[in-house]
Structure 1
Amino acid sequence: MRENNTSTRRQPHHDHDDDDPQQSNEEKCAKFVNDTCGCKLAVGDRPCSTLFTAEYYRDIRAQAALLSHEQLDMVILGSIMSTISTDEDIVHGRHKIEKRSRYRTEHMHNGHQVCAATFAFLLGVGPKYKLQALKKHYAENGLTVREHKNKRRLPPKALTYQDQTALVQFLQNYAEDNAILLPGRIPGYKRDDLKLLPSSCNKKCVWECYKTSCITTGIRYAELTTFRKYWCQLAPHIVITKPRSDLCWTCQTNSTLIMKAINRSDEEKSQTIKQAERHLKLVKEERAKYRGACEKSATTLEKYFSAGPPPPDACVPPKSHKGTIHYSFDMAQQVHYPCDPFQPGPIYFLTPRKCAIFGVCCEAIPRQINYLIDEASNVGKGGNIIISMLHHFLAHHSLGETSVHFHADNCTGQNKNRYLMCYLMWRILTGLHTEVKISFLPVGHTKFSPDWCFGLFKRRYRKTKIGCLDDIVAAVNQSAAPNFAQLVGSQDGTTIVPMYNWSDYFEEKTVKTALKGITQMHHFRFLSSRPGKVMVKNTHDDPERTISLLKSSSWRPEPGELPNVIVPAGLSAERQWYLYEKIREFVPEEAQDLVCPKPTVPKP
């Protein structure tokens, strides 16, 4: 049946609104009013298009143009729903019944009945395409949003579900044969369930193996770009190792044993897996202990410093409040200066002036004091320099706690040695603390807060032009809110943080072999109720045993007693002349006499 009794009188040029795309909206409205729609629905058998002015058409069409396709569809479907007749049977005369071929619809606007051409022009759509399609959609689906037929339809060349499954299965099998499993946090990645492929391979090499395998088995394969996309989407836990990843040797050894145990007996496989699981469990528990100590320290900080922590240089007196504060300390890789983001080529073959960095971090604030050790102020590696800077930190930058807990890595030459343990005992004997704990993270899993602060500084350092030591101080302070710089000595060798000879001081007073096998010990505890003794544990769940460090249990240090000061040797004559002749030209002119002055000693 016809849509209405005037549908045959529509003028052809109004069947679609986009007859002339070059016309403006005003021109189209004026032309439509002038030509009319051709129907006789208005009073007096006038065209219904004469019921509205050109300005009215312009405003309504502008409002409709602001709607999205889905919103405009719902507006039209609402109008269709109010007037459409969807009865399947239609009666002609008294007895003749036929099936309806088209749905009858009367369009209404602003209280007036209008024809399909005027209704479509008001909304800026085509009556033969948009309206007919929406009528059919309403009759079949009701008042629902219309979706394009190609939506959710895969292109003809897209991989099927079976092809994608085969791709993922290949990646899993490839990783099973070649990947290394690492526990805990891996630098540069947020996940802890990664399978790391060797850094020597790349995704193209893996794709070539995948392509060969698919051709051999007759399976359809994905091209390289699609292969990379599906790898990232469907197997993100399989990654290629970055060359800088800090790998644990125990984890690598266990992974190698597991890979080699494929053809061995079940008992050997089980033993190898249990060995790896024990190591992973230990690492996880030690990391949990570290996080728990940080959280406990944060609770203490909120309790005693409700108005906020004191400034870095507040020099809070020792034992000012009862509570445990946690600190972590570590040595960073030294930096060189001068340094320029646009570094001139020749300086790559030279050795500029060096600056070592030692950081002590309080995670509860968070705040890290970074000790900058210029080459002229360095007294060498070992326990003396670490203990001296730690002593300065506790005297000038700590929070005045009665109990302190330290975390460090397992570097036995610097952080984990007999003299550091004797110094912590010395703090108990002098009454500076009532309890001191120090724990060491497992080897290969020592990434913690100081590394985070060092990374923030290094990121700033690479982007900053560094001419002298003061520029490094500025880079540290500007790198991030937690970072603060503390000079150990000036560029001319003037000492700011004194270095003490702690090793000679404790050599005659402590038992040399008391801490034999210290590399296997990871937890140490000192108490004021047990002066001169240390409680040690290899792991956190091992039984605690007590070791006496003093040769004479009656020895007590005198108030204010400190070891002899180590005077830095400064730069050698050879080094002074090297900096003056080789490095001076790369230093900014205003800093040349600070960094590379002309030596006053004869050239060797």
Structure 2
Amino acid sequence: MENRIGSFVSGQLAESSSDSSDDDGSDDGVAFSQDDSIRRFHESGCGCAKKCHEKFDASQIRTDTLNTREMTREEKEMYLKGCLSEGPTNDSTKRGKKRMRIRGKYTFRGQEICAYTFRLLLDIRRCALKSIRQSLNKTGPGPRRHGNTGRKAKHALAFTDVERVVQFICNYAEEFGIPQPAAPRGRDDTAPIYLHSGTTKMNIYKLYKVSCQEAGVRFVEKSSSQSIWSACIPHINVASARDDVCVTCEKLRRKIWIRYRKRTN
């Protein structure tokens, strides 16, 4: 039981890192309407003095865009960093003032291009490119790491909080539950315990919350308590209508069903 509680508590670290992932639009399958953008690009140009639209034809742009979409997120970010040039690295300008923004260069296949053409060729949004640019200037060409990676969320549950929930449900099941003789075949080796079908997990949670308030200790919210229940003590279940019947009731139900089938046939 303690191993399951420990696994649940340590699992909160991975969940907090993955749930707070970048919302910078780097999954750019729909960053541009491809054909419309390519057509506008060749008709109106990119708007810069370099005339980047004359350096690439439509078929080449379409091929490069599709090749970029086949990359994973990490591969695409590393490829983008390889195409970006850092520019000046000193913190002050020529006039001695603090540099507010680092200007970089965009290159593709050895040719210097503008930011709009770069985003079109590599199928990436402005905000995602800005985030990757900041990562390149701050941490270098390595892969990006989220700022919350390795940190535990401030609202994460402590071991004692999880243990308190598990202990309350186990005590409730010991008093009101019906233990089964053995576990079902192919399932966990712990024999299941059925609670009366007239109760609900919400009712049990309310009892748990009242007991914590009376004791003056911290209680977890309803969704967290259900997650703890499913992860740490899955062998304790509220009996369904099918489970909460005896052998005699099952035989009578079957006889009624057989008679009903005969009448309908």
Same fold by TM-score, threshold 0.5 exceeded?
A: yes
- Where 1:57 maps in the other structure, the secondary structure is helix
Alignment of 1:189-588 (within 5 A): 190-194=187-191, 196-199=193-196, 202-204=199-201, 205-217=203-215, 219-223=218-222, 227-239=225-237, 242-243=243-244, 343-345=258-260
Q: Structure 1 length normalisation: TM-score?
A: 0.31
Asked if 1:186 is matched to 2:183, the reply is yes
C-alpha displacement at 1:79, in angstroms?
A: 1.7
- After superposition, the Cα gap between the structure-2 partners of 1:197 and 1:52, relative to the gap in structure 1 and judged at 3 Å, is closer
- Where 2:107 maps in the other structure, the secondary structure is strand
Q: Deviations over 1:16-51 (max 9, x none)?
A: xxxxx9x9533321221232223334xxxxx23321
Partner AA of 2:117 in structure 1: T
CA contact (8 A) 2:87 2:105 kept: no
Asked if 1:27 is matched to 2:36, the reply is yes
Q: Which has the higher contact order (CA 8 A, sep 6+)?
A: 2
Q: Deviations over 1:274-304 (max 9, x none)?
A: xxxxxxxxxxxxxxxxxxxxxxxxxxxxxxx
- After superposition, the Cα gap between the structure-2 partners of 1:140 and 1:232, relative to the gap in structure 1 and judged at 3 Å, is same
- Taking the aligned partners of 1:151 and 1:99, their CA distance within structure 2 comes to 31
Which position in structure 1 is the counterpart of 2:81? 77
Partner AA of 2:229 in structure 1: W
C-alpha displacement at 1:76, in angstroms?
A: 0.8
C-alpha displacement at 1:343, in angstroms?
A: 3.7
- After superposition, the Cα gap between the structure-2 partners of 1:180 and 1:138, relative to the gap in structure 1 and judged at 3 Å, is same
Which position in structure 1 is the counterpart of 2:25? none
C-alpha displacement at 1:136, in angstroms?
A: 0.7
- Taking the aligned partners of 2:146 and 2:173, their CA distance within structure 1 comes to 41
- Taking the aligned partners of 2:156 and 2:128, their CA distance within structure 1 comes to 34
Partner AA of 2:166 in structure 1: V
- After superposition, the Cα gap between the structure-2 partners of 1:195 and 1:217, relative to the gap in structure 1 and judged at 3 Å, is farther
Which position in structure 1 is the counterpart of 2:49? 40
Asked if 1:111 is matched to 2:104, the reply is no
Which position in structure 2 is the counterpart of 1:320? none
Pick one of 156, 166, 169 that aligns with 1:168: 166
- Taking the aligned partners of 1:222 and 1:89, their CA distance within structure 2 comes to 49
C-alpha displacement at 1:244, in angstroms?
A: 6.8
Which position in structure 1 is the counterpart of 2:56? 52
Asked if 1:136 is matched to 2:161, the reply is no
- Taking the aligned partners of 1:27 and 1:197, their CA distance within structure 2 comes to 61
C-alpha displacement at 1:191, in angstroms?
A: 2.6
- Where 1:186 maps in the other structure, the secondary structure is coil
- Where 2:193 maps in the other structure, the secondary structure is strand
C-alpha displacement at 1:148, in angstroms?
A: 6.3
CA contact (8 A) 2:183 2:190 kept: no
Partner AA of 2:41 in structure 1: F
Number of residue pairs aligned between Structure 1 and Structure 2? 223
More strand as a share of residues: 1
- Taking the aligned partners of 1:91 and 1:154, their CA distance within structure 2 comes to 40
CA contact (8 A) 2:45 2:53 kept: yes
CA contact (8 A) 1:89 1:97 kept: no
- After superposition, the Cα gap between the structure-2 partners of 1:121 and 1:192, relative to the gap in structure 1 and judged at 3 Å, is closer
C-alpha displacement at 1:116, in angstroms?
A: 1.9
- After superposition, the Cα gap between the structure-2 partners of 1:188 and 1:240, relative to the gap in structure 1 and judged at 3 Å, is farther
- Taking the aligned partners of 2:149 and 2:119, their CA distance within structure 1 comes to 26
- Where 1:107 maps in the other structure, the secondary structure is strand
Partner AA of 2:231 in structure 1: Q
CA contact (8 A) 2:195 2:238 kept: yes
- After superposition, the Cα gap between the structure-2 partners of 1:245 and 1:84, relative to the gap in structure 1 and judged at 3 Å, is farther
Q: Structure 2 length normalisation: TM-score?
A: 0.62
- Taking the aligned partners of 1:208 and 1:343, their CA distance within structure 2 comes to 42
Structure 2: which 5+ residue stretches go unaligned? 1-29
- After superposition, the Cα gap between the structure-2 partners of 1:141 and 1:175, relative to the gap in structure 1 and judged at 3 Å, is farther
- After superposition, the Cα gap between the structure-2 partners of 1:141 and 1:202, relative to the gap in structure 1 and judged at 3 Å, is farther
Partner AA of 1:71 in structure 2: E
Partner AA of 2:118 in structure 1: F
- Taking the aligned partners of 1:70 and 1:212, their CA distance within structure 2 comes to 48
- Where 1:113 maps in the other structure, the secondary structure is strand
- After superposition, the Cα gap between the structure-2 partners of 1:57 and 1:240, relative to the gap in structure 1 and judged at 3 Å, is closer
Which position in structure 2 is the counterpart of 1:382? none
- Where 2:112 maps in the other structure, the secondary structure is strand
Structure 1: which 5+ residue stretches go unaligned? 1-20, 42-46, 247-335, 348-584, 589-604
- After superposition, the Cα gap between the structure-2 partners of 1:101 and 1:190, relative to the gap in structure 1 and judged at 3 Å, is same
Which position in structure 1 is the counterpart of 2:69? 65
C-alpha displacement at 1:138, in angstroms?
A: 2.0
CA contact (8 A) 1:187 1:245 kept: no
Partner AA of 2:90 in structure 1: E
CA contact (8 A) 1:175 1:195 kept: no
- Taking the aligned partners of 1:186 and 1:172, their CA distance within structure 2 comes to 17
Q: Deviations over 1:348-374 (max 9, x none)?
A: xxxxxxxxxxxxxxxxxxxxxxxxxxx
- After superposition, the Cα gap between the structure-2 partners of 1:67 and 1:180, relative to the gap in structure 1 and judged at 3 Å, is same
